[in-house]
Amino acid sequence: MQINPRDRELSPPRGLLDRIAVIVKRLTDDLFAEPDAFAFVVGWEVERKWNRRTYRDPRFNQLRAARPAESQASRR
């Protein structure tokens, strides 16, 4: 905890930050429950960040790998 020259706290106590983080995690888990369940069922990858989610279909990796092979075959 930092104290400024007037003996006032500059940052909240660590326990308070932990409680806020737990509340935010619970809220985002509830908010994203349905899209997370859908992503799990269809086999998508879910990247969880602080208050957002990114959903990705791993089959896109196969497309990226197939494109260089096609371009090399067309050069011959």
Task: Give dist(CA 17, CA 61) in Å, integer.
Answer: 38
HSE at residue 53, side-chain half, CA atoms within 13 A, is 19
Which spans in 32-58 are helix H? Answer: 33-42
Task: Give dist(CA 60, CA 49) in Å, integer.
Answer: 21
- Is pLDDT at 9 greater than 80 in this prediction? no
What pLDDT does 62 receive?
81
What pLDDT does 46 receive?
93
What is the model's pTM?
0.57
Give 32-60 pLDDT, tens digit per residue.
Answer: 999 999 999 999 999 988 778 999 999 88
3-class DSSP state for residue 57? coil
